[in-house]
Amino acid sequence: MTEAALKKRGTEFYRAAQIALKRKSHLDFIRHCWSRPEPYVVGRHTRAICAKVDEIMGKLKAGQTTFTVIKVPFRHGKSEILVRNLIPHFMGEFPDSELMLTSYGADLSEDFSRDARTLIRSPAFQELYPDVKLSQESASVSEWRIADHRGRVRVMGLGGPLPGRGYHLGICDDYLRGEVEAMSQSIRDARWNSFSNDFLTRRAPVSATIVGATPRHVDDLIGRIEKAMKDDPEFPRFDFITFPAFSDDYETGTLFPERFPMQWYVTQRATIRARYGEHGVAALLQCEPTAREGGLLKTNKIQYHDLLEFPQYLQWARIWDLAHTEKQRVKADPDYTVGILMAFDLLGDTPHLWIKDVVRVRESAPKRDEIIESTTERDGPYVRVGILCGTDSKDAYETLSASLSGTRSIEPLAEHGDKVVRATPLEALFEAGNVHLPTGCDWTHEFVAEVGAFPRGAHDDQVDPLSGGAVMLGLVDWQPENDAAVRLLAGARIYG
C-alpha cells in the first residue's frame, strides 16, 4: 500500500472515530451541530445533564427502562439540551423508535419541533447520520416521521388528551406557563391527570421518560411525582437531579458562572424576592419549592435586615444539630450537620427571633468536629454553644466537649418528644413576622425553603436547632414529666 493510501486510510479512520464519538456523546453532538454565531457555553450542569442523557440512551439500547426528573433554574439551557438537541440526537440513534414531547402548550412544543426538524436537515447532522432524513409524506410540525424507518415524533400540549400511539422516549418539558398557572389548583390537577393518566400510560415496554423543568410549586407535577413515589411503592421510581442556582458546593457559589456573572444571580434573587418572596427564590432559583400555605412555620413574613441593623444587646448562641449516626450520613439523601447562630429579643412587647448565620455541611465525623471547633473560635468567647443530644448523641457530645475543653463549655440540649411538638412554640413568631434574617447571605434561601417545608420536607436539620435554641435561650421551658407539654416563658406576649 502506498504512502498516500495509508495516509488516506488513516484520515478516514480518524474521521470515523470522531463521528462515532459525536454520536455517542450528547455534549459532543450539541457542539458539532451548533449553528448559532455565538459559542455554545458549557457549565457544570450542562456536562452533568448531557452525561445523564448518555446514560439514559445507553440503558435504552441495553433494554432498560428509566425515569428521570431534572430540575434547573430558568435561563440555564435546559430545553436546549433536553429538547432541541435531544430530539434529533435520539432519532439519529433510534430511527425506528417513537418520541413524544409535551409541555404546557402546543405552541411551545411545536416551536421545539421546528427547531429539531431544522437541525436534522442541517449538513452537520447529516454528516453524523447520513441515512436519517425527514419523511416527505408525514412532515407536519406536530407529527413527523423518519424516511424509510418507523421512527415518529409527536408534540403536543399537556393538560388535555394526548392523541397518538406511544413513546420509547417521552419528554415533558416546562409543564407550567408561569406563576398564575402554578397557583391554580385546577390547572395543577389537569397537568397531573394528563401526565399520569395519558402521558405515562403511552410508554413502550422499554422506554425512557424525562421530566425537565424549573419547579414552581410544592404541589406541581414534580411535587406530585415525589408524593406518588412515597405513597405507592409500585409507582415508577424516578431519579431526581437538582441544580440549585446558589450552593456552597460550587467553587464560585453559583451554578453557571461561565455565562452569568455573580451580579446577575444576585439581582435575579432580589427581583424574585421582591415580587414573590423567599418562596419564589426557593422555587425559581433553588429548584426546591416550599409550601406557601399549610406549613407549620410561615416564612412569608420573615423580615430581612443588613447585619448592621441587628440589635447590639442580644445574647447569641450557636446551636448545633449533628448528623452523627451512620444511617444519617450514608443514606441516599444524607442529613446535614447544622449550626445556627441565633438570639431571642425578649425585652419588648413580643419576642423576636434573630438569626445571624447558618453553617450547614455534610462531612465525616472528624471533619465535622473540625468545622465546629473553627466556627466556635470564629464566633468568639461571648457566644454560647449548645449541641442537641438525642439518645445516640452522647459520644459525639463528649468528643466535642473534650476538644473544646479549656476554651469553651458546651451545653447539652435534650431532645424531648416529637419534632413538631418541639417546633410549635416558634409558630407564633413566624406568624407574627417576628423572625429576622440578614440580607445578602447565600444560606438564607436554603434555610427558608427547609423551614417553610417543615414538617413535610425532606430535611428538618435547620428546624431542630431553632427548637433547641428556644429552650437554651429562655423562650421555652420543657416540662420533664410530659414531653408534649410546653410552657412558654413569654407565652402571654406571643399569644396575647
Task: State the pairing for strand pair 239-242/66-71.
Answer: parallel
For the chain, 496 residues long, the average pLDDT of each consecutive 10-residue run is: 59 70 94 95 97 98 98 96 97 97 86 92 96 86 92 86 81 88 84 92 96 92 92 95 94 96 95 80 90 71 92 93 58 74 89 95 87 91 88 68 76 78 84 91 85 78 91 73 39 33
* Residue 326, Cβ density class (10 Å: 0-12 exposed, 13-18 middle, ≥19 buried): exposed
Contact 102, 172 (CB under 8 A): yes
Strand 239-242 versus strand 98-103 pairing type: unpaired
Q: Is the dihedral of CA 196, 199, 205, 211 positive or negative?
A: negative
Question: Domain map of the chain by residue range?
Answer: 3-242, 294-495
Give 426-466 pLDDT, tens digit per residue.
Answer: 888 888 899 999 988 888 888 888 888 887 766 788 999 99
Cell 426557593 belongs to: 282
Q: What local confidence, expressed as pLDDT, does residue 194 receive?
A: 92
Let me know if the fold of 3-242 is the same as that of 294-495: no
Q: What fold is seen in the domain 294-495? A: Nucleotidyltransferase; domain 5 (3.30.420)
pLDDT at 392: 57
Report the distance separating Cα 122 and Cα 116, nearest Å.
10
Q: Convert the pLDDT of each residue in 27-56 to its tens digit.
A: 999 999 999 999 999 999 999 999 999 999
Q: Which CATH number fits domain 3-242: 3.40.50.150, 3.40.50.300, 3.20.20.120, 3.40.190.10?
A: 3.40.50.300
